[in-house]
């Protein structure tokens, strides 16, 4: 196999489904799912995924460059690694998704939507992760990095979203995220249907959804803005030197979710509203019939505002910054 991305976009299985270099053995497991194992045993297991959303191409290109270098035998591998291109049918059409946003369907939520390519893809990915983790030694370090780009511009161009996790986050994982250039980390406080929630909740993996910039079509990405993330990945995969951490990420946690309930939903933000825009207490954020969403804390920051989602789904998250005053201010 010459090129993992082209192979996946072709929709064909490769003629040769397994192979090896001086450093590693690889095995094509299914469309967009590739297992790579170092010849020398290691104690780290990494799931590296991109293309869960088909229009988020920069991370797909970055991941593909790293994987192709490994397939050509140019680089050693420091991780037992499962490489995933999440939604091949959406990647082929250049759309976020075909019928369903698969990053809402993990943890068995695919059973609640109509059977089809995307529901089956989520089941396939869940099984691939399960097989991958079960294959390893029980004392392996488990990390999952799921790479995305955001629909909107952002006050923090690069940030990470962490699933709900009752265990402490491993310091080495947080250090890696900082070195990858993430300026902010957002901590969920409730379960969700994302890929990273699934690997954290079911397999105890340290996982993060990396938002690495703004979504653009294939070939139009200026990959230089991703250099810190690229270097940090090269450090993790190949053992290259880690880039120096430029900024310590700010920590936010989710205060409330804005949910679209019906066709009457109205979000009081513009298409230009940036991620992490701050709103003062009392601001009316959205309304849906008799339901109104207000800023409850002294100050809240919006993340992923998207009034166009289907009824019942998240139309935005409101965040508070850790360490900032979280109680209501006296009137
Ligand atoms: Zn995405």
Contact 48, 63 (CB under 8 A): yes
Strands, sheet with 284-288, edge to edge from the N-terminal-most edge strand: 266-267, 284-288, 291-294
d(CA 29, ligand 1 centre) in Å: 23
Q: What's the whole-model pTM score?
A: 0.94
Annotation-wise, does 148 bind a ligand? yes
Please tell me the predicted confidence (pLDDT) of residue 135: 85
Q: Residues 160-193: pLDDT tens digits?
A: 999 999 999 999 999 999 999 999 999 999 999 9
d(CA 266, ligand 1 centre) in Å: 23
Please tell me the predicted confidence (pLDDT) of residue 137: 81
Annotation-wise, does 251 bind a ligand? no
Active site residues: 211
d(CA 70, ligand 1 centre) in Å: 25
Longest dimension (CA), the chain: 70
Spatial CA neighbour of 160 closest among 138, 137, 144, 141: 144
CA distance 144 to 205: 6
State the residue for tokens 């207490």: 281
pLDDT in tens, the chain (331 residues): 889 999 999 999 999 999 999 999 999 999 999 999 999 999 999 999 999 999 999 999 999 999 999 999 999 999 999 999 999 999 999 999 999 999 999 999 999 999 999 999 999 999 999 999 988 887 899 999 999 998 788 999 999 999 999 999 999 999 999 999 999 999 999 999 999 999 999 999 999 999 998 767 767 767 777 889 999 999 999 999 999 998 899 999 999 999 999 999 999 999 999 999 999 999 999 999 999 999 999 999 999 999 999 898 899 999 999 987 554 444 4
Annotation-wise, does 263 bind a ligand? no
Sign of dihedral through CA atoms 274, 275, 280, 284?
positive
Those residues whose beta carbon sits under 5 angstroms from the ion ligand 1 are: 53, 56, 148
Beta bridge partners of 318: 256, 302
Residue 267 has φ and ψ, to the nearest 5°, of -100, 125
d(CA 235, ligand 1 centre) in Å: 24
Q: Which two tokens stand for residue 237?
A: 């995969």
d(CA 157, ligand 1 centre) in Å: 14
Contact 197, 164 (CB under 8 A): yes
Q: Which residues contact 85 (CB under 8 A, 6 or more apart)?
A: 4, 5, 8, 32, 33, 49, 50, 51, 60, 63, 91
Q: Residues 302-314: pLDDT tens digits?
A: 999 999 998 988 9
d(CA 209, ligand 1 centre) in Å: 8
d(CA 62, ligand 1 centre) in Å: 15
d(CA 99, ligand 1 centre) in Å: 15
Please tell me the predicted confidence (pLDDT) of residue 246: 87
d(CA 192, ligand 1 centre) in Å: 14
């Amino acid at each position: 196999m010459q090129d993992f991305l082209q192979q996946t976009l072709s929709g064909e299985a490769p003629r040769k489904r397994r192979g090896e270099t001086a450093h590693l053995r690889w095995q094509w497991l299914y469309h967009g799912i590739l297992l790579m194992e170092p010849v020398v045993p290691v104690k780290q297991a990494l799931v590296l995924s991109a293309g869960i959303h088909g229009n988020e191409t920069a991370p797909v290109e970055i991941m593909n460059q790293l994987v192709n270098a490994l397939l050509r035998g140019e680089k050693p591998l420091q991780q037992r690694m499962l490489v995933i291109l999440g939604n091949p049918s959406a990647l082929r059409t250049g759309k976020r998704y075909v019928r369903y946003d698969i990053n809402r369907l993990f943890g068995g939520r695919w059973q609640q939507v109509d059977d089809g390519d995307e529901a089956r893809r989520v089941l396939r990915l869940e099984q691939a992760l399960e097989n991958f983790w079960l294959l390893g030694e029980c004392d392996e370090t488990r990390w999952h990095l799921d790479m995305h780009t955001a629909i909107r511009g952002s006050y923090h161009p690069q940030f990470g979203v962490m699933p709900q996790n009752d265990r402490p986050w491993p310091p080495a994982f947080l250090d890696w995220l900082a070195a990858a250039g993430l300026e902010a980390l957002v901590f969920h406080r409730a379960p969700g249907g994302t890929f990273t929630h699934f690997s954290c909740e079911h397999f105890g993996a340290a996982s993060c959804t990396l938002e690495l910039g703004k979504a653009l079509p294939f070939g139009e990405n200026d990959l230089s803005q991703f250099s810190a993330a690229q270097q940090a990945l090269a450090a993790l995969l190949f053992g290259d030197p880690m880039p120096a951490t430029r900024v310590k990420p700010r920590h936010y946690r989710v205060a409330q979710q804005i949910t679209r309930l019906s066709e009457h939903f109205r979000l009081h933000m513009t298409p230009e509203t940036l991620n992490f825009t701050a709103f003062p207490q009392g601001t009316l954020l959205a309304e849906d019939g008799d339901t109104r969403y207000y800023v409850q804390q002294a100050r809240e920051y919006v993340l992923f505002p998207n009034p166009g989602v289907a009824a019942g789904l998240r139309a935005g998250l409101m965040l508070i910054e850790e360490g900032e005053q979280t109680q209501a201010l006296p009137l």
